[in-house]
Structures are given as C-alpha cells and as structure tokens.
Amino acid sequence: MTASPVIIEVLDRAGAVSARHRCNELPVTLGRAYHNGVIVDDPFVAPAHVRIERRADGSVVARDMGTRNGMHVVPKRRFSLWRDAVTRFEEVVLTADTLVRVGHSTFRVRPVDQAVAPERLDTTAHTWEGLRPAMLAFVMLTLVALFEAWTDDTTTQDSLLYETNVAAVLGALVVWGGFWALLNRLFAGRARMGRHLLIGATAAVVTVVASLASEMLGYAFSLPWLTQFESYVSLTALAGAIYFHMATITPLSLAFARQFAVVFAMLTIGLFGLYRYSKEHRLGDSPYLSSLQWPAMRVATPVSTEAFVKEMGELKARADLRRNDIADGQE
Amino acid sequence: MKASIFLCSIAAVLLTAVASADEVSTPTDGADAAELPPALSRDASRIYAAAKGSLFQVRVLTTTGRSQAAAGSGFVVSDDGLAITNYHVVAKLVTDPKRYVAEVVNTAGERDDITVLKIDVLHDLALIRINKRRGWPALRVSSKTLKQGERLYSIGNPLDLGFAISEGSFNGLVTRPYYPQILFSGAINFGMSGGPAVDGSGAVVGVNVSKRLDGEQISFLVPAQFVTALIEQGKAIAAQPTQQEFRRDIGRQLTMHQNTMAGQLLKAPLSTRAMGYYSAPINETQGIRCWGDDPSQPQLKYRYSRLTCHMESQVMVEDALQTGFINVRHEYFATEQLDSFRFLQFYSKSYRNETFGHFRHRHWTGPECNDAFVKSDGSQSVPVRAVLCVRALRKFEGLYDFALMAATVDDSRSGLHTRVDASGVTLENGQRIVQAFLDAIERRR
C-alpha cells in the first residue's frame, strides 16, 4: 500500500487554521529551525520539536524529539479533565482529529482523502447589504421616534420635540449598530453595518409593537399580567436581536449564537426578576393594570362594586400573613 | 399627575423641640422673672411666679449616650407626683422603651426620672408620675367654661431656651377633626408642648399642643376636661405598663377613632362636586378641607383640574406612624385638541403614576392589590378601572390602610381619576368607605 500524502495544519489560538503544509512523504520534522519540514515561529517550540512518521501498520505518530516543554494532547471536549492537557506524551498516535500542542502552538495531521462536510446552503441575500438595509433601518426608527414624540406631544410648547426625539433614537441606533459592526469586522474582516442597523431597528419596532399590543389586549380582556411584564418582553427582544447580530458574524456558528442568546436572556431576565423581587416583592413592572384604552375595546364585563369590595377580605387576609415578616425588634 | 399641595396641606405642627440648636442653654436655677420678656404685664409675672414651682421640662434621651432626642414641657397636678404632658412628648418612651429614657428638670434645676402611667393618643395627653422627688406643688385644673377673649397664659420651655410665659386669649373651641381643641391666640413655640395654659386665677384650662405654621399666633390647647378624665383613669396605676400593654391601649384608641371617623363620613350619602362631565364624591365632614385647583395652561392640549380633600390632622402614634385619616383626590382630564389615542396614552400614564407603599416599611406591610373593571348599579354609574390595595398596620391588629384608585373608562376624550386613602381603619369600615366612593362616581346629565 502506497502511503498517501498528508496535510499538516497549524492552528492559531482561536482554533482556526493558520498554515497548511502538504507532505508527500513521511517522516517530517516540526520545529523552529529552518531545516524542519514544518517551521513554527513560536519561542516555546524547540528548534527540532516533533517528528511525524508512519508506522508499519500505516498509522501516523508524532514523537517528541527530547524537548524541554514536551508535547501535549489537547482534550477533545473543552471541559475534559484538566490532566489531559498537562500530561507529556513521548509518542502520540494521530487520528484526523487529534490536536497536538507544542509550546503555544497546536497542529493536527490529516490525510488528503479526509472527508469534509458538505457545502452549507447559502441563504445570505448578497445584494441585501450596505446602504439598502441601512436606509430601511433609519426609516423604520424615524417612524418609531416620530410616533413616540407624537404620543408625548400634549403641549404646544416643545417645538423641537420631534427633531430631538428622532436625533436621539437614530444616534442610539448608530452606536448600537456600530458596536456590532466593529465586532463583525474583528471576527469576520468586514463590518456589515447595514445589516446590524436593520437588526437593531427591527428589535426596537418589535418592542414598541409588542408593548402596544399587550396594553390593548390586557385592557380588552382585563388581564393585568399582560401589561405587567413589558420589561421582560423587551429583554427577550434584546436577546433575539443579539442572536441575529451574532448569526450575521459568519464565522460564529449558529449554535453558538443560539446558546449565547438563550443564556443572555435567562441571565438578564433572571437577574432583573430577582432585583425586582428584592425591591418590590413582586416580579411585574407594576402592581396593577395600567393601560386605559377606548371604551369600545373593552371586552371584559365589569364586576359589581359589591363583588369588588368583597375581594378586600382576601387582600386583608394576605396582608395579615405579612404582618410579622419584619421582626419588631422592640420586645 | 401628582403635585404637592403647599399651603393648604400644612396641618398644625406638634410642638416638641428636637435638639438642633448648637448652644442649648439649660435652664438655670435662677429662672425667675428676670428671664421673662420685659413686655409682659404684671399679671403675667404674678401668674408665672405662682406656677413656677409646678413646671418642669421633659427630656427624652437616648439610652446609649443619653443625648436629647425630644424635649417638651409638663406640670404637676397632684401632691403625690402625678403630672401631665403631651403624648407626643413621651411617644418615643412609650413605643420604644429600650432605646429611650426620660428625665424631668424643674425650674430650680432639680432632676428626676418619670413613669408613664396612662396615655391618650387621640387628645395627645400623657399622665406621668415623678418618681422620687415629692413636694413639687400641684397646679389646680379648672373645670369652668371660658369666655371668648378671656386672657390665658401659656407656659413652657420654648426651644429649650428656658422657661417662659406668653399671653394670649381664648378664642373658642375648634373641632379638628373630631376632638375639640382650644384656639389660643397667642405665641407658643416648639418645646412648650405639654406645658400648662392657665387663666387669670392660675388654674389650668388647657395643655399646649400645637400651632399652625401658616398663621400668626394660631395655637391650640387640649381642653382641661380631658386632663381631668385622664387623671381619673390613670391615678390608680402603680407601675408603668409594658410596651405591649401600651400598644393594646393605643390599638383600642385607634379603633375607637376610626369608628368615629367612618361613622361621621358615612352617616349621610357622600356629597359630590361637579368635575367636567362627572360627579366626584367627597367627604366634607368636619375637619376635612377640600381644595381645588386648575393647573390647566394655555399651552396644554388638554384640560386638567384637581380636587383634594385632606383631614387637617392625623393621629400621631410615633415617628413615621401617622394614621387615622381619610384623604380623597380627584383629577379630571379632558381634551378637544388631542385625538383619543394620545389622550388615552396620557390618561394611562397618569393612572400608572401611583404608589401604594413599600413592603419593607417598619409600620406597614407591603400592599396587597387587586384590580378590575367595576360598575355599580346606579342609573348614572359609569364603568371604572379600579385598583384596591390593602396594607396592614404591623403593630395594631385589625387595622389597615386601604387605597382605592379608580379611573372612569366610559369615554375616550375625558375621564376622572379618583384616589381614596383610608388609613388605620378596620376591614368593615374600609369596605363601607370604598363601596360608598365607588358607588358615587357618576356621569352627570
């Protein structure tokens, strides 16, 4: 059986391949000195560090050439035993996924006939970049800002109400979109500012619409809880926006974006709820339904004053249970 | 739409001096007529000289450090050491005996400690016993009725500066809100609380208690009849009741008070005032003042007017625990210029802007609330969105604060917000009050 060529891949710290070397014949040595087949510029790597060779049974092994820092195997699972990472190996049998660390560098060896994943379906709308989504974002948020200003416009005095509101909202959008564009540039080499602006604007619109809808539904059916959790809805919308922002930064995997957004949502909602509860002894934003809408929109039938007043007995019983929950400290 | 009401809500202030002056001059043993303002009449000098031996200053001190926490005045009413001061002077001692002690100092500079025997929180009186020193002469408590304009002399230790007497006149009884007080047209000051007010014969006709900060020489005295009654109730008590016993006594008095209050309020149907398209129910019984204002300004695109009814006094049990009152506030909103969407947004915002207390409060539990659409059976009745919160007074079983906030929801361009607070009442009275107000919110024909 003729030995097929192998590819030696040197990875950077983030796990991305930084260099590939095709070796038609083994053995080959890896080290810092220029006589090596694979040269690694890492001060913690010996001039001749590892020798990669093929055994009689066809398996490929890496052998430590007597170095100070030795050779280590990077554990497969990220949270695997810490011991794996510090054990020195004299010889390692290399499979396609074995990651070997020498000094601060890692490498793996793959045969040229290594199977690769099928091509990912490209759902990216490549024309939907740059100015077009950015313009849409600005238009959407300008409308939201004008709507909010119009709602607040109950005096004739504040003549710049609309202008200042639009400026503040668009300014905030640019800062938010810019932050994500910067991350995108860092991780993926391009900013995709237009996309990020659109994601931010959409989240803002969703929040405003959800809040209006919950206020109206809550009023119509007399459901206080619908209006009491607006802060939580906003946090969920924010987590959703973060998912889409991260998914836009292409090299980050969708699974990672999803995990991050879910953890973000749980953490912020949990912390906010905890904070609310510690301050107010309730989870909701307000202790009662606080949205009043058109008379025609009310579906719930009103209760009689007698029935409403009768409920006070239950509230009293609840208050009585709390009577001693602060120690008197005076007896 | 909450704005503080300035002038109209200034109730009479109690006259305990709280140690704040940098140089507190203690009364010297030579506190004689030479210390008095020179403008006083010969009568005043004579009366002061006669009363001098019976007067003392009450000082409430912290147990740790013995620094002065409150100071008032008092006077001896029996040869075996019974004496009178205001309840609010010794309130800390009664409600928190671990952290406060009290001492009395007479005009000769003699000191003694005291026992509180009996309290009357509604009239603001306390019967105390001077523990060891005997022989401080007693003042006679008068039982005769006074004539308008009769000369009275109020004595006490104003602002901890030394004993002083001030002249004024009797101007009848005021009942605010439920307990009569003598309107004394003369100067009394912080620190004179609990001191006697005497007539020309030197007999006690009242006890200094409070004054109005928004008026000149408008002072109040507790009439002598309540002093006599308290002495009768308390003279046989030997030792100071425990904190628990005092608490039960205060609870009993507060329960009595709220029965009077609710009875007065509900003995006839509530009166109403027209506010825009609505009839706003109010509680115009004695001692309750309603103030209206209309802060609408030309630049506003809506009209807004407000009516607030406050009781002019509350029952002070201890610091930060004032109870036994009913307050009502109505706010009317209407618009012609605004569309209904914006009006309703704005109307909701005002309805949202209400607080009902905090769960960590020392004296009250957190609010327990319920809200619903409510409509009474009346022909003119309108549906309202109402929220009702109950909080219990931690120290007084059976007493609660009830807060009702209701907003009419029968129109999209006008509406009435009504808030009713009943503090320190029983469940039954709370229910009667809430029902009465809810039933009386109506649309005018």
Q: Give A202-229 pLDDT, tens digit per residue.
A: 999 999 999 999 999 999 999 999 888 8
- Is A253 or B380 the better-scoring residue by pLDDT? B380
Q: What is the pLDDT of residue A83?
A: 54
The pLDDT assigned to A85 comes to 65
The model's confidence at residue B11, banded by pLDDT at 50, 70 and 90, is: very low
Each residue's pLDDT tens digit, A81-99: 555 567 888 999 998 888 8
Coil, helix or strand at residue B308: strand
Please tell me the predicted confidence (pLDDT) of residue A327: 62
DSSP A156: S
Answer whether residue B189 shows pLDDT above 80. yes
Average pLDDT of span A238-242: 96
Instruction: At B161, give phi and psi (nearest 5°).
Output: -95, -15
Identify the pLDDT of residue B161.
Answer: 85
- Cβ(B138)–Cβ(B77) below 8 Å: yes
User: Cβ of A328 and B395 within 8 Å?
Assistant: yes
Segment B256-283 shows an average pLDDT of 91
Residues B218, B305: Cα–Cα separation, whole Å? 31
> What is the pLDDT, as a whole number, of residue A1?
43
In percent, how much of chain B has pLDDT > 70?
90
> What is the C-alpha to C-alpha distance for residues B57 and B82, in angstroms, rounded to an integer?
15
Tell me the nearest-neighbour CA distance from B383 into chain A, angstroms. Answer: 7
pLDDT of residue A290: 86
Instruction: Output the pLDDT for position B353.
Output: 87
Residue B9: per-residue pLDDT = 34
- Which of these ranges, A116-120, A209-213, B139-143, has the smallest mean pLDDT? A116-120
B430 closest CB neighbour out of A291, A304, A312: A312
Bridge partners (DSSP) of residue B304 are: B333
- Compute the average pLDDT of residues B70-87: 93
Cα(B142)–Cα(B39) distance, integer angstroms: 27
Q: What is the secondary structure of B58-110 as a DSSP string?
A: EEEEETTTT-EEEEEEEEE-STTSEEEE-HHHHHHHHH-TTTEEEEEEETT--
Which residue(s) pair with B381 in the sheet?
B442
Among A280-284, A293-297, B76-80, whose mean pLDDT is lowest?
A280-284
Instruction: Give one DSSP letter per residue of B332-380, joined into a string.
Output: EEE-SSS-HHHHHHHHHHHHH------TT-SSBPPPEEEEEEE--SSTT
What is the pLDDT, as a whole number, of residue A310? 95
Is residue B19 predicted with pLDDT exceeding 50?
no
What's the start-to-end Cα distance of chain B, in Å?
27
Residue with tokens 């974002």: A137
Which pLDDT tens digit goes with each residue over A173-194?
999 999 999 999 998 889 999 9
Are B76 and B106 contacting, i.e. CB atoms less than 8 angstroms apart? no
Could you report the predicted ipTM of this complex, rounded to two decimals?
Answer: 0.83
Question: In this complex, do A153 and B342 lie within 8 Å of one another by their Cβ atoms?
Answer: yes
Interchain CB distance below 8 Å, A309 and B438: yes
Q: How confident is the model at residue B24 (pLDDT cuts 50, 70, 90)?
A: very low
**How confident is the model at residue B30, as a pLDDT?**
36
The whole-number average pLDDT for the span B387-402 is 95
Whole-angstrom distance, CA of residue A235 vs CA of residue A115: 42
Where does the pLDDT of residue B12 fall: very low under 50, low under 70, confident under 90, or very high at 90 and above?
Answer: low
Tell me how many residue pairs between chain A and chain B have CB atoms under 8 A apart.
Answer: 160
Phi and psi at A119, nearest 5°, equal -65, 140
Mean pLDDT computed over A152-156: 83
Q: pLDDT: is A144 or B318 the higher one? A: A144
Residue A167 has pLDDT above 50, yes or no: yes
Residue written as token pair 């205060």 = B250
Question: Could you tell me what percent of chain A has a pLDDT over 90?
Answer: 63
Chain B residues with CB inside 8 Å of A320's CB? 392
Per-domain residue ranges of chain B: 3-21+250-443, 31-241
Q: Sorting pLDDT into bands at 50, 70 and 90, what band is B29?
A: very low
CA B257 to CA B169: how far, in whole Å?
30
Residue B24 Cα, gap to closest chain A Cα (Å)? 31
B328 within 8 A of B418, measured Cβ to Cβ: yes
**In whole numbers, what is the pLDDT of chain A averaged over residues?**
89
In B, residues 241-280, which contact A (CB 8 Å cutoff)? 243-244
In this structure, of A315-319, B96-100, B122-126, the range with the lowest mean pLDDT score is B96-100
Radius of gyration of chain A (CA): 31
Tell whether domain B31-241 is in CATH 1.20.58.220. no
The larger pLDDT score, comparing residue B269 to residue A2, is at: B269
- pLDDT value, residue B208: 94
Question: Phi then psi for B128, rounded to 5 degrees?
Answer: -125, 165
- What is the average pLDDT score of chain B? 87
Using CB atoms, pick whichever of B348, B400, B415 lies closest to residue A290: B348
- Quote the CA–CA distance of B85 and B74 in Å, as a whole number: 5
> What order do you get walking across the sheet with A50-54 strand by strand?
A38-39, A28-31, A50-54, A60-64, A91-94
Q: Which two tokens stand for residue A42?
A: 């890492």
Task: Give the distance from residue B279's alpha carbon to the nearest chain A alpha carbon, in angstroms.
Answer: 17
Please give, rounded to a whole number of angstroms, the shortest distance from the CA of B423 to a CA of chain A: 14
Asked if A171 contacts A207 with a C-beta cutoff of 8 angstroms, the reply is: no
- Of A202-216, A247-261, B88-102, B224-238, the poorest mean pLDDT is in A247-261
* Tens digit of each residue's pLDDT (9 = 90 or more) over A3-43: 688 999 998 776 778 889 999 988 999 999 999 999 999 99
| Cβ separation A151–B342 shorter than 8 A | yes
